[in-house]
Structures are given as structure tokens and as C-alpha cells.
Amino acid sequence: MAKGQIRKALSGFYYVQDGEHFIQCRGRGVFRNKGITPLVGDYVEYEVEGNNDGIITNILERQNELVRPPVANIDQAILVFSTKEPAFNTILLDRFLVVLESFQVHPIICLTKTDLLNDEEKQKIAKYRAEYEAIGYTMIETYKEDPNLLEKMAPLLKGKTTVLAGQSGVGKSSLLNTIMPSLALKTGIISEALGRGKHTTRHVELIELAGGLIADTPGFSSFDFDTIEKEELTQCFPELFSLSEGCKFRGCLHLKEPKCAVKLAVEDRTVEQYRYEHYLQFLQEITDRKPRY
């Protein structure tokens, strides 16, 4: 039984890389009967049929899987967020960070359009950057057609499987085009009226870049908390989670419970007020969610 990784899926075919070779495979009929879809990024077992064709017989256990783009075994996501046009949005960023933490996908924050900032705006962004880096997040800054972009990103990409995600209209496709010019992805034009970009994604493929793999299509532009329970939310805020061991009650939700280490840290300003407020807002959203049966 041969093994490899699906690097591309197109029109019902899966292109499996096994060493130096690409094998064009179909999935077993039993996958369809069981509602299982092989995903780009899956490690699979396959049987060779003919010269360069095969049948995928087994999908090995996944580390994780994403819906948009449909890809498995992702190590990290580069979250592309604009510093201007649209303005930097911490609640949207925190929403993305929470969902990635829940999927155990490591986030890297990439701030774009930094060349458009005036001095006051630069100071504001520097403050936010310091706050997120203090939590433990990696941040990089870039601008359109930044000649040093790949150099900035290369150490982060090495040995990892990466997807891009982030706000609509912030330049995800442009960023991919800059680091992989051969892609020539169609870039969405921001609608001035809506402040949103047009949807321009395609099929997904993992491409080798800087010693790692990167999905050649930008991912999700919005997130919900359908898979997160309220008891798990604290784990998705690293600075709150590390403090929660000091709470008097196990399973403390950091609302009205006495002797809550998180609320104390907010009062002491060792935790940023806006991060705690976003936590409370997300907690309410999860609490108000209709039950699933």
C-alpha cells in the first residue's frame, strides 16, 4: 500500500504527491456512501492502477480540517488584516483568533497597507501590535507590492502548512500574488459602497514555498462559533486561560463569580479591557446560540 499527501483536488480527481511523483487518484466509492470527502492536505493510502492513476483507499487521521478553504492538516493561518481602508478591527481579529485557537491552528497576524498610515495612526497600530505580541502572537507588517514580503514571511513558512485568512478586501489575493507571482490570482476590487471585496477564490491547491506548503487560495472571511462551547472559550484567549488557574472556582466563566483571577487582571490592567469585553460578547453569542440536536 502506497502513501502520500493530496496536494490538489479538481473535478473529482485528487493529485497525491508521493516522494517526487504525482499520482492522479479517485476516491473509493465507499467514501461517498459514508459521506466522507478526501481533502487537500490529507495523508492517504492509495493503490496504483495503470501508469499514473490510483484509487485512494484510506484517509489517515486528520490533525484538523477547515471548511473554507476545504483543507486538512493545517499548521498555521496568516491572518491578513488591514490597518486602513478598512480600518484595523480588533473585534473581528479576535473573532478569527478564537476560532483558529479552537481548531488548534497557530495564527500569525499580517498587517497590510501600513504605507497609508499617518504618524498618529502608526502610533495606534504600534500600541496594538505591542499588546498582541505580549499575548504571544507573531505580527508582521507589509504594504502593496512590498519587495521584502517573502523575506519577512519565509522563516514563518518553513516546515509548515499555511493558509491565508482575514477580512474581505484587505489584499489576501494581492499578498499571495506578491509572494507567488506565478499564481496571478484575480484580485478583488474593493467596493467603496460596501467596504467589502468581491469573492474571487478558486479550487484549493497546496504549493511548495520557502520550505513549506501554502494554500494557493485565500480562506474564510468570516467566522462563527458553532463548534465552541462556552466552557471552552477561555482556552481560546491565551492570556485569560493562563490566569484562569488562579480563579477560585473551576470552570469559572469570569462573569460574576467571586475571586476571579481574570476579572482582577482586567481591573489591574494586566489584561486589555477590549480583549475581556470581546470575550464577554463572544460568550453571550455562544450562550444565545440555538441548541443543536
In tens digits, the chain (293 residues) has pLDDT values of 789 999 998 888 899 998 888 889 988 877 877 888 899 999 999 998 877 789 999 999 999 888 777 899 999 999 988 898 888 989 999 999 999 999 889 999 999 888 899 999 999 999 999 999 999 999 999 887 788 888 888 899 999 999 888 776 656 667 777 776 655 544 333 333 333 334 333 467 898 888 899 887 766 656 778 889 999 999 999 999 999 999 999 889 999 899 999 999 999 999 999 999 999 999 999 998 876 65
Other beta carbons less than 10 A from residue 104's beta carbon: 10
pLDDT of residue 197: 39
Residue intervals in the chain for CATH 2.40.50.140: 2-61
Strands (E), 133-279: 138-141, 161-166, 206-209, 212-215
pLDDT of residue 292: 61
Q: What is the CATH number of domain 66-215?
A: 3.40.50.300
Residue intervals in the chain for CATH 3.40.50.300: 66-215
Fold of 2-61: OB fold (Dihydrolipoamide Acetyltransferase, E2P) (2.40.50)
| C-alpha to C-alpha distances, 160 to 60, 63, 242, 252, nearest whole angstrom | 19, 13, 26, 35
pLDDT of residue 190: 32
Nearest to 99, CA basis, from 235, 216, 205, 206: 235
10 forms bridges with which residues in the sheet?
13
Residues with Cβ within 8 Å of residue 84, at least 6 apart in sequence: 113, 116, 117, 121
Helix (H) or strand (E) holding 15, with range, is: strand 13-18
What homologous superfamily does CATH list for 230-287? Answer: Probable gtpase engc; domain 3 (1.10.40.50)
pLDDT of residue 198: 40
Residue intervals in the chain for CATH 1.10.40.50: 230-287
